[in-house]
Amino acid sequence: MTTLGPINGEHPIPQHAIRSARIVGDDGEASVVATVYCPLKERSATVRECESCRRFHALHFDAPSRTTSVVCHTERAISAMESADPLAGVSEHVNPAAPLAAIMSRDVICVRPEVTVDEIAALLIRHAISGMPVVDADGKPVGMVSRADVLRAAEERGDTEESERVSLHRDDVAPLDMEQGFHVYEPVKVTARDVMTPVVVQLHESASIRQAASLMAYEGVHRLPIVSDDGKVVGILSSLDVLRWFGRSCGYLIPPGRRRA
| Residues binding ligand SF4 (CB under 6 A) | 16, 36, 38, 40-41, 45, 49-50, 53, 55-56, 70, 72
Neighbours of 157 (CB within 10 A): 14
Return d(Cα 55, Cα 52) in angstroms, integer. 9
- Find the shortest distance in angstroms from Cβ 30 to ligand SF4: 24
Nearer CB in complex with ligand SF4: 71/200: 71
Omega prior to 198 cis, within 30 of 0: no
**Minimal distance, residue 22 CB to ligand SF4, in Å:** 21
Phi, psi of 28 (to 5 degrees): 85, -10
Q: Which is nearer to ligand SF4, 43 or 127 (CB)?
A: 43
Query: Of 79 and 160, which CB lies nearer to ligand SF4 in the complex structure?
Result: 79
* Shortest separation between residue 231's beta carbon and ligand SF4, angstroms: 20
SS3 content of the chain, % helix, strand, coil (to 5): 25, 35, 40
CB of 99 to ligand SF4, least distance (A): 14
According to DSSP, the residues that pair with 20 across neighbouring strands are 34, 107
Taking the least distance from each CB to ligand SF4, the nearer of 45 and 195 is 45
Residue 19: which H helix or E strand, with range? Answer: strand 19-24
Helices 209-219 and 239-249 pack at an angle, to 10 degrees, of 130
* Closer of 87 and 154 to ligand SF4 (Cβ): 87
Q: Which amino acid is at 121?
A: A
